[in-house]
Amino acid sequence: MRGLSTQVGGEVLVEKIDLELQPGEVLGVVGASGAGKSILLRTLVGLMPPAAGTIEAFGCDLGTLDAAGLRKVEARWGVLFQDGALFSSLTVAENIAVPLNEMADLPRRLVDEIVALKIALVGLPADAGGKYPSELSGGMRKRAGLARALAVDPALLFLDEPTSGLDPIAAAEFDKLIGDLRRSLGLTVFMVTHDLDSLFALADRVAVLVRHGLKIGTLDDMLNDKDPWIARYFGGARGHGAKENAQPETQSETAGA
């Protein structure tokens, strides 16, 4: 992102920010309610136009690509929206097959095999494929949405509040799943979240939206930052508790990054 601005209804949410996502890292994006976190994600994946600035992915300026070029870039990322955003009239298997059918011309048998593989990859039982979203728990819907996001083997994964609505046990399990997939698949992850436990479990760096701008650093940087909102968010009892609860190997990986 270079000089990127976003706005909704004439109100500027993010103004002229620069940010580069490093290959293989997990970047956590946080900010106060209404700061524009989800709008930023939606702008990056092309669901909303930027108010100003440029977005580059995989060496391509997205604003200069034609439809075919943009489609090729979009095939290299996956998106998990809040609560999975699954199509309610489709089964889990049919949901996961959507990007496969859209992005590639594959035989039906191969699509079915890939769908089964993705269902297993995210830890869902095999019979989940035949169920509808309404028949799943919140945690299972998240996993199904993640399976769809991973359907075309993306290099870049966008997560929008991945643990929102989950109980602490399910949220911790989902954090572990993301961490395991990140390491095994070599994913680069852009994660919008308000969950401090997720940040300390997964994030190499954190980007904080403050006063239309952006502050970027490690979690240790944020724990020592003097900005009033950042100090309250990361330096309070919840922030210190999340740091203490993080797995030791995760903390060492984050520090090394």
Determine the pLDDT at residue 83.
75
Report pLDDT digits (tens) over 129-177.
999 999 999 899 999 999 999 999 999 999 999 999 899 999 999 999 9
The phi and psi torsions of 150 (rounded to 5 degrees) equal -95, 5
Both structure tokens of 43:
């702008």
CB 51 within 8 A of CB 7: yes
Please report the sign of the dihedral spanned by the C-alpha atoms of residue 134, residue 137, residue 143, residue 149: positive
Is 247's pLDDT higher than 70?
Answer: no
- pTM for the structure as a whole: 0.90
Q: How far apart are CA 108 and CA 110, in angstroms?
A: 5
Q: Could you give the residue ranges of the DSSP H alpha helices within the chain?
A: 37-44, 67-74, 92-103, 108-121, 138-149, 168-185, 196-202, 219-223, 228-235, 237-245, 248-256
Report pLDDT digits (tens) over 60-90.
999 999 999 999 999 999 999 987 789 999 9
Domains annotated on the chain, with CATH: 24-49+67-76+155-257 (3.40.50.300), 88-152 (no CATH)
Number of C-alpha atoms within 13 angstroms, CB side, residue 123? 15
Determine the pLDDT at residue 33.
84
